[in-house]
Structure 1
């Protein structure tokens, strides 16, 4: 039983109940009145502002559902058209909002939320508060209650003995609250998602838009990678090969006139050829590491763990061979995560868990660092999201301040062959 999580769930339940009863109910009333006033023209000007406030509230509640209830909810609103300005623009915006199905789903939710949402939130808070009240009664508050015949749940409190029984029952309420309040909040989040999540048509449209963006990002990433390879070849191996060609031409002229000098240049050329070969190997390793091609993703990630400056443990789950692009995307994503941890997290240990189940590759990287990781902070996480997006994959990040940080990548995959554990 996690006492801290139970107490936090009770407090959050009270906050959600307050938001459900006050904010949602007020915004629903304002929305209905504003839409009704559209008949006389006033609502045309007031409805966009009221609906905008209702959407802001719904978006905040979606965010709270993800943070407090462990239920992720996508924002379903269609983008507003360009503002034409003036009365015409106001009418266009009014019509667009009322034609958006998400507007009516929000209104329906604002009817349910002050009732069901309020009850669920208050029930989570009441379990703990009512349990504490049982101990307060046992501490002596039962005496003024004796004259009015006070009942604590099903216990009639008329003396110290029955007050102690109320305390015992209160302990049960507290235990139930600590145990089940997180589950009650999760149910609250599921209720919110049932109304505020995108409908089937909008969800499909959003998925298509996401795929278009991810494909465009993949093209940009590929173009940038080709430019990097071209630059590395031009500035590195190509320059050395040109220098080697010039040196060989000089050696050819010196073979008869100055053999000793030719021998010195020949040794330098051999050294340059070894350095050029090493640069080419490093470049090829950056494109597709040999260990990934030869041994598969599991052994490649274990090799990354061995090279990591932070102590890293990899789970024993066996990952079979996957499609080469999927293996490369997962490998470089894990590599970037380990680099981020080493640079920013101030962690002492990293744990990597890899599983391939039901057609999905899931890799979880957890560290005991300071937390606070944010994809918008320029730490490379946004690049991982773009890389995974090309394969319809996702990156889920949980990194509260103070840590720990857990990053999970999911990629659709199909095992091509089982992998045998190295002996």
Structure 2
């Protein structure tokens, strides 16, 4: 994170490029060009059908004529900083891509490029007039976000392998990256646990949570390194907005375009609707079979209640869920608290997948019903406003599921028997 009262890394670089000190300016120029050359070249390759060599030549010429050769106070960076004085929220990335667009046009319009233009198809120049700047910017944003993601994933993979967490990286590849690149549904946790020889579906979920946090951390760090921002407070807000914008674009259909064959043996995203959804995956995709639910519920029964609910709801902080279900000393307040948390968690259609939420929605529904049944059976109190007949039907439905444990089945059966009288 940023230190207080400091500028962002890239803002320091921009001031260095625009500065008069030749000794430090060279170092800042190298850092600046290193950060932006690859995405700008990729932009020209994808949108203007330039070869890789031609694209890099154009970008290098862009740096030379707009940044390196002009006097520091007259170069592209100084002009941006001047614009920023009157418009603080001016995006440098957009300023840069627009400048490259005009440079591309002028390069082929100049008299010195006549011979070169003679070998360029007219179609390659179409769509690069200034009035198409908005579509150009959208395309560059897509290129930039994919460039950023590619760098982040390589860093995360390196960290996983260096720390002996190859299994966690493999979970991410099979659960998120490969389905996203191929446009297919992800496997269930139990399928993945079996395929990768991981102890349990819950362990698969926890592995994904770990990698997700690593991606978020590296993503924020990467944005902090390039995003110009004047103060620490402003920087944090800018980073948050930038990350949200980048991830939103990657999650859209067709938003994922990375190549990642060096680490997972795959070619470029092979589906026109390829996307990268970091926010979460639909719970229905994770626990598909009865075996999935049974494994998840058994894992939940052996988990401490404070971990499941994300807070202590009873005096014994180390009590596991199975003992909590059988406990005869739970207060009405703790049962109602458990009911409310289970109801809220069960309504989440797209899990955020923290440790608190690595369970299928059906298990939350069962806890919700068990809290209601226990309050009625042991304390004679009604926790639900649901119609009695509907509640009875719901209890019967879960009582008959094959994946629940015998103790829970007995509690639900007792409630059904009372409701029938």
For the superposition of Structure 1 and Structure 2, which TM-score range results when normalised by the shorter chain?
under 0.3
The structure with the largest strand share of the pair is: 1
Query: TM-score, normalized by length of structure 1?
Result: 0.24
Query: TM-score, normalized by length of structure 2?
Result: 0.24
Q: Which has the larger radius of gyration?
A: 1
